[in-house]
Amino acid sequence: MSKIYCSVVIPVYNEEDNLRPLFERLSKTMDEVGRPWEVIFTNDGSVDNSGKILAEFYQARPKQVRVIDFNGNYGQHMAIMAAFERVRGEVIVTLDADLQNPPEEVPKLLALFDQGYDAIGGHRKDRQDSQGRKYASKLINFVREWTTDIKMTDQGCMLRAYSRKVIDAISRSGERSTFIPALAYKYASKPGEVEVEHAERAAGESKYSYYKLIRLNFDLITGFTLVPLQLFTLLAMACTGGTLALIGILFFRRFIYPGASEAEGVFTLFAILFFLVSVCMVGIGLIGEYVGRTYQCVQQRPRYVLREIMEDLSEG
Ligand code: UDP
Ligand code: MG
């Protein structure tokens, strides 16, 4: 049998209404590309009919379809990681299951791969998401640009393609809470970008609450830089300087220029104190983020547990 050219990886969490049109459009596009391909769906603990529908796809095209069934919900990035560990293609494409990334755009990414790019990011021409999400993305984009050396136009777009080498490096990393496009960027030798279409979610609702989005973006920042911690050290140094100056002023007013009201400075001091206490709380939270992640790593629990895996790897 000829070697697989492209593996498409799709995480699925309660997407029963999107799966059929997705599979139909994807199969059509990939058949037209005309080179051997496979698709790996990870069922990330769906509680609707997604699992059943995926099993149907496998029955219909066992040579093209592989299904990884998690025993629970581990999140989009872990679902993608599990598939990465099993891909056979030379080029690996990730795609969302909700049809926001049109499968018809995949050949655009493949064209760039054929030109020698090894991590190709889609960036959404006309992003169809709420205004709030777009502003949040802008903010996190700014923080990432500023604290890490990862350059990406549209980190949130999951329509991306990677070479096998990059994917193998990601699998070897064995990370837990991570942000795949950023990790891939670090391992790539020739990253590229291409503009892709973006549609509104076809059915169902977004699986990301604002809370989950904040968690994901913490993964992005804490996973790739220690700058936030270092900023606190700098801030502590600045505060020490400020405090010394304040002591100087108070000393001057107490002994050299006595007579001013003793009470007037108290509220200023309170304001400064409250400010510093809140800064300390942010700092403790931040240290907690890093320590918590370290803790999860040293526990060495399996990153995910499979219920079942449907695949037919026989040749022919
Ligand atoms: N997803 C997943 N596990 C989760 C959350 C999401 O596998 O815990 C999948 C989901 O089915 C979809 C993709 O990840 O295929 C992106 O999710 P969603 O469309 O909800 O994110 P958004 O487009 O709102 O950022
Ligand atoms: Mg979506």
Tokens encoding 159 = 């329509």
- The span from the CA of 99 to the CA of 88, in Å, is 24
pLDDT at residue 276 in the model: 86
- The span from the CA of 43 to the CA of 50, in Å, is 7
Ligand in nearest proximity to the CA of 133: 1
Mean pLDDT of all residues belonging to the chain: 91
Find the DSSP H helices in the chain. 16-33, 50-60, 76-84, 106-114, 131-147, 164-173, 180-187, 210-224, 227-251, 264-299
208 CB within 6 A, ligand 1? yes
Chosen CATH of 6-205+303-310 out of 3.40.50.970, 3.30.450.40, 3.90.550.10, 3.30.470.20: 3.90.550.10
**Count of residues making up the chain:** 316
pLDDT at residue 126 in the model: 86
Does the pLDDT value for residue 316 go beyond 70? no
Tokens encoding 230 = 């270092």
Percent of the residues in the chain that have a pLDDT greater than 70, as a whole number: 97
Q: Name the closest-CA residue to atom 24, ligand 1.
A: 206
pLDDT at residue 271 in the model: 77
More confident site: 269 or 220: 220
Query: Among the listed ranges 100-109, 137-146, 213-222, 264-273, which one has the minimum average pLDDT value?
Result: 264-273
Query: Among the listed ranges 11-20, 91-100, 206-215, which one has the minimum average pLDDT value?
Result: 206-215
In one-letter notation, the amino acid at residue 82 is A
204 CB within 6 A, ligand 1? no
pLDDT at residue 263 in the model: 62
Q: Is 93 exposed, middle or buried (0-12, 13-18, 19+ CB in 10 A)?
A: buried
- The span from the CA of 31 to the CA of 313, in Å, is 19
Percent of the residues in the chain that have a pLDDT greater than 90, as a whole number: 60
44 CB within 6 A, ligand 1? yes
73 CB within 6 A, ligand 1? yes
pLDDT at residue 173 in the model: 93
Strand partners, 310: 67
Does the pLDDT value for residue 105 go beyond 90? yes
Give me the DSSP letters along 137-167. Answer: HHHHHHHHHHHSS---S-TT---EEEEHHHH
pLDDT at residue 268 in the model: 74
